[in-house]
Structure 1
Amino acid sequence: MPSSAGPSIDTITEGGRVTQVGEGQEADESAPPVMTFGAPTAGEILAERYELVEHINNDSAGRLVWRGVDVVLRRPVAVVLRYPGGDSATEMLQAAVAASRVIHPNLVGVYDAIDEADRAYVVREWVDGRSLRELVAEGSLDPARATSIGNAVASALAAVHATDMVHGNVHPGTVMISDDGRVVLADARTDGADSQESDIRAVGGILYFALTGHWPHTEVPLRGATAGHGRAAIPDAVRDAGGAIAAPRQVRAGVPAYLDDLTMDLLDIEIAPPTSDVLAAELARLDVPADEQYLDSSGPLRFTADTDDEPSPLAAAGGRKVAIGIAGLLAVALVGLLIGISALGGDDEGPQTNPVAAPSSNAHGGDATQAAATVGPIKISRAQIIDPEGDRTEVKNADKVFDGNEDEGWETQTYRRSPNFGNLKEGMGVWIDLGGEHTVKSVQVLLSAQGASAQLFAGIAEHPSSAAGDSQLVADYRKTPVGRAFEEHDGTTMTFDGFNADRKYRYLLFWITQLPSSDGGYKLGVQEIKVQGS
């Protein structure tokens, strides 16, 4: 199912059992149990749909957290109940409703929010895994993994901020790492003091914590998990005699200078932070697999763009010591110059006051700094409706999915018998051609209604617009899925961002497998497809 920001699901492993608590933290051991009249019991079904299976815990706000099952869709859910409902539950319910409108793979999904006067409850995605706080308790993370987690959090915030909302509760307890490696952000709980800037600075706190095991409380206040809160307490950052926090490289060895600088810049209130989408793009660029961390053997490199060079996304946003070294280094690798990397290494023992990058050429003869291209819209060259099992009556108007008009798009016909295209065919899709190979960051698909199921695939070849050609295209493209599939998702926007940063893409297939109800049957319109990348 799609994910969106919502009340926190934080996991705690006890005796081999994975449990989840709300607000990204475990209730204080000294807190008395919450006794409520008419408290729920195992087996009770709420709203004729959500069966309560097991009382997991009480969060620090006194809310009851249950593991449950959606008996309609047969999927596990987390149910957070508050007593009483009514006015006292308004903030919780409003936050849940707002969060449910943002669909993103790195956000915990919110499925329902119900007020029954004597109690209110929020139903959300159940995540098997653990929080970043628990993960780091076993030891600080390597730079590559810390960068990957920071990238996921920044991407989630970019989706939230794109709707003019604020998350307001980013800290190690609300960053979840599922058992399958998915990183999700949970528990959006904004108030008047929160801002998009504070969200972005909190990403610096996440990077700092992942690298050092300490949280910079002063620079980024930690809501709901401050020092002294039972087992939820997180160690404060290491500080000098003047109270200034130590840089990650001063706390532990092996932190690259570019990541050290980026983290400290995000925490420095005197430096204007970039927007969340620009930060996500920069972290995606730096998110290189551990086995490709060429800097490890030669020491960290720090680069600044020359005045005539194209800056990295963060440099354009006003960052102080923005690293564009990795992109340049990978370009050098393309022409076999890794042998000379050690000659470019900086001093591991201290910051470089005047770092300079020697110019180098990439595989296309251009300046290496051009590898750090700014992420922006990619124009779709053409589109085609893919209908391998249909009568070809629905393959018209494909150009409407990229004409810039969200009020008019391509749509299926109305199917009467079932949401699975009347049981007449396996699915339909929209194939798009980007006109050339690109580094793709994300694809956003705007739909006419909620409740559709779909997936995104990538391919390397075109096929004729015919039943046979469409069948071959679907068979070929299904070998390369992009991101997670959406199943009966509760929004009208699907965002796919599981693209390989080291691969170029030209052909993509948005494949629909289930239609939402409409006009007395089942029907779906694709209003617009938007591609971001470089």
Structure 2
Amino acid sequence: MSTSTRGGSLAPGGVVGDGRYRLLAQFGIDERAGAHLWRARDGQLRRDVALTMLVGDPADAEAARLGRRTLERAAHAAKFNHAGVARVLDVLSLGNGISSSEGLLGIVVAEWTKGTDLIDLVAEKPVDPGTAARMVQALAEAVEQAHQSGLVLGLDHPQRLRLTPDGRLRLAFPGPLPDATLRDDVKALGAILYLLLTGRWALQGGPPALPAAPRSPAGRLVPPRSLEPRVPQELSALAVRTIEDGGQGGIRTSAAILRVLDQAAEAAERTQYISKEPPPVDPDGTVWTTKRPVKDAARRRKLALGVTVLVIAAVGILAWLGMMAISFFQNDSETSGPEVNLADPPASEQQQQPPPANSAPPPATGTGDPVAPAEITVYNPEGEGDSVADADKAIDGDPATVWSTDDYRQQFPTFKSGVGLVATFDQPIDLAKVEITADSPGTKVEIRSADSANPDLDTTNVLGSGELKDVKTEVSLRQPTSTEYVIVWITYLSGEEPEFTSEFGELTFLPAG
């Protein structure tokens, strides 16, 4: 018999719990445990309550064992007091408030939570990112306090939650699954954030009313920002890194989630405050009806790099012209007088001329001519990537055009292990050095080899590392390595709090000579 047909009284107007609780309305079913979630009326105390009813066959020994485990956990949770969790009022079991004829294994009775169903909340459109951060923040505080007490809350099903009139998420139907762990609570926080940002559920066992979160062909969760561009990078990465189990940089504690949510909520509040300011007025009385031109730090860096290249080129050209003029007058027989062999410079010195300023620099000692990749793409194993459309600018031969990371409010690896570019060559090269032209002092990079253009970070090999200090930085490998795929991986960003960003103007790959 299915869980939906066991217990003939599970319909509005029916009574359970030896006739004490009259059912009013059903608010969902957690099929994983046969838990039916109802609002009911306590006939003795004349108040509404939330019932988590475990539907099952009492004659099934395994089902009865799992039901008892859930009831035990709910009884322990009755000692927990937090605004983010409905207070457990009673726990009923067979022979203790439930008769065998009711088709139930147990009931968890909790105080009723007024407010809005979570599915109804996201039915029309996703929640504003700043609001979503604050909502999950309050729930994460409850999880953190419960985990410090050794309790698992079991909030990994959206129909167990409700939004209170004061805007707080609350676990309205307590009763964790028999095998639920602390990690499941943390993953649930990420899934709830994902749901609020996208309207999709990212864990197994969700209600049919909610569409499942999409995944890439490799099985990775598609970041919320790819579905909703208005979602900040921090929140998008937080949701994915909390839900996903594998890879580096996963978030596994509610305390870590709270740190990121605190900063995200503050940033959202600042953004909302700024958006409410009146149009800016210049001292000359000009009113900008759109927005006043702002000082773009990235644009200033690009302009400074371009000007530097032009100045170096101009100085080189002038030096070359000067040497040519000197050479011309020295070789003029009418003005230089008779040749005197003792005064002439060596023949090798006469033949040496400075190269044109726009010529490519000679390869580094021990290296061959630079090898250009067939393709370069953004490498970000935790999501879509930064400035995907600009990746080619890192190998276009023009240092003034750059590929840049997103602007981050937190330094790597607080919520993201890193980001970079992966270069693909037509055939393996014996790589010895990578020359990086960039105006991003303090950026730390690793040169990694890979077996494909989109590998897991754990499967790549670190060949060398370095820190960008000058406009041009050479990162030498520990030893030349034959590889077809080279990743230039950023592990530490340039900038200062609260704005971190790095860029590459040009990447030059030098094989062993």
TM-score by length of 2: 0.46
The answer to which structure, 1 or 2, has the higher relative contact order (CA under 8 A, 6+ apart) is 1
Which has a greater percent of helix?
Answer: 2
TM-score by length of 1: 0.44
